[in-house]
Amino acid sequence: KRNEARQYAAKMEALVNRLEQQNFEMEEKEVLLAAQVKHLQNTVRRLKEENRYLEEEKCEFEEAENDTRLRCQKLEVKLSALGEKKSDLQVQLQQNARTMSNLRSTLSEEERKRNEARQYAAKMEALVNRLEQQNFEMEEKEIETRYRLHTLENIVPAMVMYYLWRMLNAVRPFVKDSQTLTIHSSNSDSVLVIKSPKQTPQKRKKLRRSRQDREEVQDNLRRSLEEIQQFLTSKQRGESVDCPNITVDAAFLVIEELSNRCTELKERIKELELKEKVYQETLLNEDEILNKMEMDYKHQLKCAEDELLHKQAELEKAEAQLRKHAGDRELEIQFQERLNQLEAETLQLRDALLQKDKEKKVLEGEQIRLTNELEEAIDNLEKFKENIEKPLREEVENHRKKVKELLGDLDVREQEKNETEEMHRKLVKELKKINNQACRELEESEVTISELKEEVQTLEREVADLRAALSHERVSSERKLLEVGAELEARDRQLRSLGSDSLAGSLH
């Protein structure tokens, strides 16, 4: 019995410790719940304040929007009136623009004709320059041929005299290659100056001079040929000439070579004469073409100047008409400036409205974010409560089983505990209902501060009732434990007394 009593006492102590631990955990959970309730109250209060501010700003924005709409209507009326005036002025401007466009088209046509005349003149000038260049090149070739003829005129007699001197005196051996000799002419008139091709009288003088030079060259060649022929005839007659080292064949070869060169020079002279004729014909044609082109240019320039004077008179008339409409243009410019100013004001008002709408959207987004945070906090609270209820139920069931197995005397306490648990469940259900109702009210419409305060007060009273019930339960459990301990002590004393009596009886 003592062992059983000790076991019962140990079990009772374990149960008491476990109950104290559970009570301590329940108190901690109550403190956490109270802190969460305070946090939720603060968030609800803050949301209400922000909602009130948002409502005030919304009213202000609506008033500003109404004012801007009224101003926009007035501005639209003014804009319509200005639009009518603008349309009238635009009609006048279109008429003036058409007249100006007609004048500009005529001017552009005249300018185009003038440009065509200039292009034609440029083409003819290029043609003249090209012909002058050709004449210049022909003159250069002519001068070059004159120089060559002059050099030949100086060289051929010297060569003939040289070869005759060689044949007669036989001082040196005969040299066949006569092209290697270089004889410098002492005539300073061989240097010719090229003048401008435009100076036609000087050209003609040069041509006459070149003809004279050519005739002189031809005369010199004829004289040299006559001398050679006389020499040949004298050789054929058998006249003696002192030339011991030179054969007759070599002399004939030299003479044949000189005759061939003379024929070449004659052909060259004929070619130069043909070129001279062509050059003179081109000079005559060039003078006629230039005179004709000059007359055409003068006629075209005179016509263009007459048309330009006519167009200038028309432009002066158009400018006079435009001066008449200058006053209307100034009025139109004033109306246009006023219209631009009104459009700028409307744009500013629209920008302000857009800015206010953006701020409103930002505030609405903030409100939605806060409501979402509140919903998340409520969901977390419900999850926390669910997580608390499940282990509490399991622990209560375990305690029931253990208490029923260990002590049948604790049934009353178990019933009270069940009642308290049922009360807790009811309170939790009521709190869930209240929270769900609050969530629905927050989602559907805005909850007033007074209702939230009342709900919070009811929650505080219920929490206080829970605390009072827990404290009462704790006191009753401690009292019962004391009673059980007293009963156990009494039983121990009875057992001791019975043991002492049994020992005394056995001793007797």
CB 479 within 8 A of CB 458: no
On whether the CB atoms of residues 467 and 33 are closer than 8 A, the answer is: no
Mean pLDDT of the chain, nearest integer: 66
- For residues 356 and 64, the answer to whether their CB atoms sit within 8 Å is yes
How confident is the model over 182-226, as pLDDT tens digits? 333 333 333 333 333 334 455 556 556 666 665 665 566 566 556
Question: Nearest to residue 98, comparing CAs of 333, 316, 321, 324?
Answer: 321
Residue 394: CB atoms within 10 A of its CB come to: 10
Contact 138, 275 (CB under 8 A): yes
The residue among 147, 144, 140, 148 whose CA lies nearest residue 196 is 140
Q: Where in the chain are the domains?
A: 2-55+360-497, 117-184+191-312
What is the C-alpha separation between 404 and 54, in angstroms, rounded? 61
d(C-alpha 344, C-alpha 75), whole Å: 11
- Distance in angstroms (rounded) separating the CA atoms of residues 42 and 342: 49
- Distance separating alpha carbons of residues 127 and 113, to the nearest angstrom: 21
CA nearest 82: which of 321, 260, 338, 378? Answer: 338
Q: What is the per-residue pLDDT across 306-358, written as a single tens digit (0 to 9) for each?
A: 766 776 676 677 666 656 655 556 656 665 676 677 667 667 766 766 776 67
Overall pTM surpassing 0.85 (yes/no): no
Instruction: Say what angle helices 449-507 and 2-169 make with each other, to 10 degrees.
Output: 130
User: Sign of torsion, CA 236 241 245 250?
Assistant: negative
User: Over the stretch 23-80, which tens digit does the pLDDT of each residue have?
Assistant: 788 788 778 877 877 887 787 788 778 778 877 877 777 787 777 778 767 777 877 7
Q: Name residue 457's amino acid.
A: Q
Q: Flag the least confident range among 11-15, 24-28, 165-169, 273-277.
A: 165-169
Q: Give me the pLDDT at residue 382, please.
A: 66
How far is residue 470's CA from residue 464's CA, in Å, rounded to a whole number?
10
Instruction: Give CA 221 to chain center in angstroms.
Output: 87
Distance CA 248, CA 257 (A): 14
Q: Give the pLDDT of residue 262.
A: 64
Residue 178: DSSP 8-state: G
Closest CA to 496 of 508, 488, 506: 488
Percent of the chain with pLDDT over 90: 0
- Per-residue pLDDT at 217: 56
